[in-house]
Structure 1
Amino acid sequence: MPSLDALFEAAKAIQDKAYAPYSRFKVGAAIATPDGRVFTGCNVENAAYPVGSCAEAGAISAMVAAGESRITQIVVMGEGEALVTPCGGCRQRIREFAAPDTPIHIAGPEGIRKSFTLDELLPFSFGPDNLAAR
């Protein structure tokens, strides 16, 4: 299992590669899987604003493309002083592959600022288990 420091460094490295010419707000994400693999993603903006993609979505896509399907922890790194937590859409994307107690660490350039569980960020969520109960 990768250390939290290793996930932090992976998120920091990918954040620098973000394509954010409009907002100039770069975000990086690093996720770990049960077998210890790390997948990263960065935000990619587009002149047609709604078609950009979030860092978390990119990392999840890379994970799925590699044949993985479970997230054990995540680091999301943003700029500025405020906590940069996953947007609502990314919280739901994370929910598809993570358990309610999965740690989501929010970081800035200086380190981890705050940690949450998925359930804290997306309480009473709808996920794959809801469909299995039908």
Structure 2
Amino acid sequence: MEITAEQQQELIRQAKDAYIKAYAPYSHYPVGAATLWSSGKIFAGCNVENASYGLTVCAERNSIFQAVSQGERRLKAVAIAVPAEHFPSPCGACRQVLREFAEDCLVILVNGQGKTRLTRLKTLLPDSFGPEFL
């Protein structure tokens, strides 16, 4: 499922807006994510850290869980943005949660200089395990 240039730009905008809202007092690494679903709706989320580190929620999962709670099930694309100079990359847990809702999708990585790097979920998580195996 491909997306339009306008959808890509809106995903990037919402992911950047989301990292401003991040709660990252421990890592000081704010992250924003925006997910586009087959319905055309976009949901944004930020990372929310916790003093008990294992309870921290990444921006990608925050965005996905919000969308799923609103009935979404088919992910088309995700943008992940950080204010840092380097490009972000979803952690292993987030890659697996993305995979739950898309066998493959566009992944847009955005750094603090506004540069973008495009990749695919299948590239980030090759030979993945998904719900169709159960």
8 Å Cα contact 2:18-2:46 kept in structure 1? yes
Name the aligned partner's letter for residue 58 of structure 2.
Answer: C
Instruction: From 116, 119, 123, give the equivalent of 1:116.
Output: 119
Name the aligned partner's letter for residue 28 of structure 2.
Answer: R
Give the secondary-structure state (helix, strand or coil) at the position aligned to 1:60: helix
Alpha-carbon distance in 2 for matches of 1:94, 1:125 = 11
Q: Does 1:77 align with 2:81?
A: yes
1:93-123: per-residue Cα shift (whole Å, max 9, x none)? Answer: 00000122x1001001333421111100000
Give the secondary-structure state (helix, strand or coil) at the position aligned to 1:72: strand
Q: Does 1:98 align with 2:102?
A: yes
1:129, distance to aligned residue in structure 2 (A)? 1.4
Name the aligned partner's letter for residue 111 of structure 1.
Answer: G
What is the total number of aligned residue pairs between the two structures? 130
1:23, distance to aligned residue in structure 2 (A)? 1.1
8 Å Cα contact 2:85-2:112 kept in structure 1? no
Q: Does 1:56 align with 2:60?
A: yes
Partner of 2:133: 130
Partner of 1:35: 39
1:31, distance to aligned residue in structure 2 (A)? 0.3
Task: Report percent identity of matched pairs.
Answer: 41
Aligned-residue RMSD, C-alpha: 1.2
1:22, distance to aligned residue in structure 2 (A)? 1.0
Name the aligned partner's letter for residue 119 of structure 1.
Answer: K
TM-score by length of 2: 0.92
Partner of 1:88: 92
Deviates more, 1:12-21 or 1:72-81: 72-81
8 Å Cα contact 1:105-1:112 kept in structure 2? no
Alpha-carbon distance in 1 for matches of 2:78, 2:86 = 18
Structure 1 unaligned spans of 5+? none
Structure 2 unaligned spans of 5+? none
Give the secondary-structure state (helix, strand or coil) at the position aligned to 1:47: coil
Name the aligned partner's letter for residue 44 of structure 1.
Answer: V
Alpha-carbon distance in 1 for matches of 2:43, 2:115 = 18
Partner of 1:25: 29
Partner of 2:69: 65
